[in-house]
A and B are shown apart, each in its own frame.
Chain A
Amino acid sequence: MKSLEDLKKIRNEYAAKLAMREHHNDYHIIVGMGTCGIAAGARKIVNKFAEELANKNLYNVSLTISGCMGECDLEPMVEIINAQGEKVICVKVTEDDVTKIVEETIIGGKPVTCLTKENL
């Protein structure tokens, strides 16, 4: 390593990796992973989220999984909570929805537009 710039390059690369161990408040995404969720493909959804967030360098989001959310025939279900604590529960989420949520809401800051129990 020859200069401070080289050091900062490594810093930025690894700060991203470490971000998961910090406290996040911007967005919290919870994917339901009960047996019903898994059967409906929730694991793919979780991994799609992880991939999208990593590809787009979004580290202000905490992505976790939970048990059954209760509406088993609407799985995979994803709960999205913003910094103000407002919740939206998306139902029958597909991998395309994941891309849309990440681009429109997490990056764009717009409200989530997805299938919910109400507009189904």
Chain B
Amino acid sequence: MAIRTQIVVCGGTGCMSSHSKEIKEQFDKVLKDLDLDKEIAVFQSGCFGLCEKGPVVVVFPDETFYGHMTVNDVEPLCKEHLLKGRIYDKKVYREATLEEKAKVRKFREMNFYARQERIALRNCGIINPNEINEYIGHDGYLALGKVLTEMQPKEVIEVIKASGLRGRGGAGFPTGLKWSFAEKNPGPKFMICNADEGDPGAFMDRAVLEGDPHSVIEAMTIAGYAIGANQGYVYVRAEYPLAVERLEIAIKQAYGYGLLGKNILNSGFDFDLEVRLGAGAFVCGEETALMASIEGERGMPRNKPPFPANQGLWKRPTVINNVETLANIPVIILKGAEWFTSIGTEKSKGTKVFALGGKINNTGLVEIPMGTTLREVIFDIGGGIPKGKSFKAVQTGGPSGGCLTTKHLDTPIDYDNLIAAGSMMGSGGMIVMDEDNCMVDVARFFLDFTVDESCGKCTPCREGTKRMLEILDLICDGKGTMEDLSELETLANTIKDSALCGLGQTAPNPVLSTLANFRDEYIAHVVDKQCPAGVCKSLIKYYITDKCIGCGMCARNCPAGAITGKIKEKHVVDTKVCIKCGACKASCKFGAIITK
């Protein structure tokens, strides 16, 4: 009997942690019980991107998108949708607005997907990552075949150069140029994939490795051929167990098919690939630190030059590319540089994957053409800010980036525009903040991260960031002065100019950008001793207003016993006893508790 329907259960880390594996097993069982197992196939894919709605199940060819699935939904879904042709209404995805709600949309026509252009994520959610044949079925390894049989290494580099592809890991260095530097040097050479993704909130590299590991393997082999390297390493953090597992399965399958190893496709070209696990230090995403870590040394950066293309791993010429950069390569080879340059802006070609997080309705991964505005990403694709709150800022580029405000919302996103606006592309984390976020606290959060992750090799980063954090702590505690503010700025600029590696040089960015865009909030903390967003505990007090009807809910929820009052009368907070946990505010149904 032929398969008439295919069910894809999302197997990304997000959905897996909410039991998508059990859901898949339940599908297997229910389909067997209903005698549908010969007509309907089920498999697990990589990440679909709309993690907010996880666990996600999509039914093909109907393209029906089901979100928030549970094991108990599987049986009714099968009976309704697969047996009787009715949409299982309880879990089907509908748009948020009333007029759009009426009709169930096909998943590629949903607001979240319709505006995206998926190149790096082209196979994520569509193919089974543990099945090399499905990757090949989607034109996988054809680019490698084309390169090995029809092209000279220099021609490959020319195509990548002409495509204008720039590194997706953060700095945006032209990939083709990087390859050409290494190509000129004598061998042996090495090809490394940087999968040490460390920015808080960014997970696109993990999604590619989990959903489409073969695209990285294929791209690395192509790169190896282009630069003349016969050995490749994928440096991935051990904190990504699922990505490591799928990558290792994929490498094994590629060896089995002769797409890795000796004499690939009878071309005479050899390429070996190994996985190297990192322990999850943020600094090991810096290329020189990463190479030190592969060599078995302590993961610390060194001075550049010499650049890795001249003297890299074991002092040999080395190219290091980020996962997302590599995922673009096979498509560029197949479709040509001209096609790729038709997407994006003048200086930034192609697409970029962003991880949307924070105060946004559609948390997840989106891939958009360069030049899309922040407003489109946050409001049209991301679905805007939850609970009708107002947008305050968006942090791009993780701990190395900066905060952008409403005045930047219509900026087309590309490498240069983001830098001009005082932030950076980084690896593509995008954390949205609403009126309830205190910008001083946000800056403190990111600085706290870099202080933790500083390797300690150079003084500006090791000592400087720590001193900056101390000043921010003082400001949040209401003990800051205006002199502290100017010292904070001086320190930030000094560290920016003098730190050894990218981590230190960019660590002050969150502070500098919030100082530039939200100086009034800093001044409110220092001069008025107030936190306008009501976040910094030392600066806020809880009050009960006249809206209180005396239900007693807050008093029952207060862990410190700080709230007193008679039933049906207005209650009072004893600010001396109050520990400012916010439990009362969260429990009040009448909005009677405020902070000031």
Contact = CB atoms under 8 A, between A and B. Distances in A.
A21 B2 contact: no
Interface stretch (A6-14, A100-108, A111-119): A6-14
A4 B126 contact: no
B62 A10 contact: no
A41 interface: no
Contacts of B497: none
B2 A14 contact: no
Contacts of A35: 84
A67 B82 CA distance: 10
Most buried by A among B5, B84, B106, B140: B84
B85 A14 contact: no
Contacts of B265: 1-4, 7
A89 B482 CA distance: 78
Interface stretch (B129-137, B313-321, B462-470, B570-578): B129-137
A53 interface: yes
Contact of B258 (A2, A10, A21, A55): A2
B139 interface: yes
A18 B138 CA distance: 8
Interface string B250-263: 00000001110000
A4 B149 contact: yes
Interface string B124-153: 001100000110111111100100110000
Contacts of A53: 2
B72 interface: no
Contacts of B6: 20-21
B3 interface: yes
Contact of A50 (B39, B106, B133, B136): B39
A26 interface: no
For A15, A17, A18, the residue with the greatest tally of chain B CB atoms inside 10 Å of its CB is A18
A63 B4 CA distance: 7
Contact of A15 (B3, B86, B138, B149): B138
Contact of A18 (B82, B134, B257): B134
B83 interface: yes
Counting chain A CB atoms within 10 Å of each CB, the highest count among B86, B136, B140 belongs to B136
A9 to B, nearest CB: 10
A43 B108 CA distance: 28
A64 B85 contact: yes
B136 A10 contact: yes
B473 to A, nearest CB: 52
A11 B134 CA distance: 8
B102 interface: no
Contacts of A38: 83-84
A13 B137 contact: yes
B1 interface: yes
B2 A50 contact: yes
Contacts of B1: 47, 50-51
B85 A67 contact: yes
B240 interface: no
B2 A15 contact: no
Contacts of A21: 6, 8, 60-61, 126
Nearest to A67: B86
Contacts of B39: 46-47, 50
Nearest to B133: A14
A62 B4 CA distance: 9
Interface in A27-86: 31-35, 38, 46-47, 49-51, 53-55, 62-67
A67 to B, nearest CB: 4
Given A2-B258, A33-B85, A20 B61 contact: yes
A38 B36 CA distance: 14
Contact of A67 (B84, B138, B140): B84
Given A1-B257, A7-B141, A7-B145, A18 B85 contact: no
9 contacts: A1-B258, A1-B265, A17-B137, A18-B137, A31-B85, A38-B83, A49-B4, A50-B1, A64-B61
Interface of A: 1-4, 7-8, 10-11, 13-18, 20-21, 23-24, 31-35, 38, 46-47, 49-51, 53-55, 62-67
